[in-house]
Amino acid sequence: MRKLFQLIYQYRAFFIFLLLEVVSGWLVVNHNDYISASYFNSSSAIAGNVYENKQAVKDYFQLAKVNKNLAQENELLRNRLAGDSITIDSTSIEIPFELAGQYEFITGKVVNNSVHRFRNYFTLDKGSEDGIEEGMGVINPNGVVGKIKSVSSNFSTAYSALHSNLLISVLIDETETLCTANWSGEDPTEISLKYVPRHIKVQEGMEVITSGYDAIFPQGVKLGTVKSVKIDEEATFYNIEVALSADFFSLDYVYIIGNKLKQEKDSLEQELQSEYER
């Protein structure tokens, strides 16, 4: 043991240098979007295989729960198919048939997930060979989960809704108020609503759903339920916290959403923006 300490002391400069290199690399990857994207693209295939094997062990002990969830969802889908809409969510959120043709849903499995960081990600076992592209939305049977960030051939990484940089366009369902959801980085079971003006009557228990305006999520997918409503005396907007409907501590199977008309919509809006800037 004494020789070990002598060795560490003798080469202390090298070990300090190595530590600083690791810290510097971590800071660069986490705070530079371009380098971060490159890192996730290059490492997702290798990490994905590791996470997939690790998840396989966990799955063995969760088969009963997963089978129960799948059976309940299949029963719900069968019961709804004969109705006026397609239900993709056990909380009675429906996508009308006219929108169902615009969106396609690819089932994926979460093989790695984080919830305790300021910027959280998760990894899926589907990649470009399965039709996954950057920018696609991700939901599960309970609601909004995230947005695809980087894609390799067989895996993809996604911004979690618990990511401080992810903005989600939503509506307060009862008042049809357009606003933005953004995680504050604190409680993994809650998300904040921004830009809700004080003249709107907002109450606890109101549902918050996706607006459909960002062309990532269809309109009507549940984000959560208003948990608390506060406002400062001189403030213009409310401070609203929403209880998330998706449980980010137990993500398993999800739906990756592809909008067939997103490129057309984005192209038209970019053309209008370019004309406005002239």
pLDDT tens digits, 118-130? 999 999 999 999 9
Mean pLDDT for 244-261 is 91
Confidence of residue 266 (pLDDT cuts 50, 70, 90): confident
Specify whether the backbone of 76 is left (phi greater than 0), alpha (psi in -120 to 50) or beta. Answer: alpha
Confidence of residue 87 (pLDDT cuts 50, 70, 90): very low
pLDDT of residue 14: 78
Radius of gyration of the CA atoms of the chain, in A: 22
Hey, what are 184's tokens?
């504050």
pTM of the shown model: 0.69
pLDDT of residue 78: 43
Bridge partner list, 24: none
**Residue 44: pLDDT over 60:** no
Instruction: Tell me how long the chain is.
Output: 278
Give the mean pLDDT of the chain. Answer: 81
Answer whether 166's CB lies under 8 Å from 173's CB. Answer: no
- Mean pLDDT comparison of 39-48, 78-87, 96-105, highest-scoring range: 96-105
3-state helix vs strand vs coil in the chain, percent to 5: 35, 35, 30
Mean pLDDT for 171-175 is 96
Answer whether 200's CB lies under 8 Å from 240's CB. Answer: no
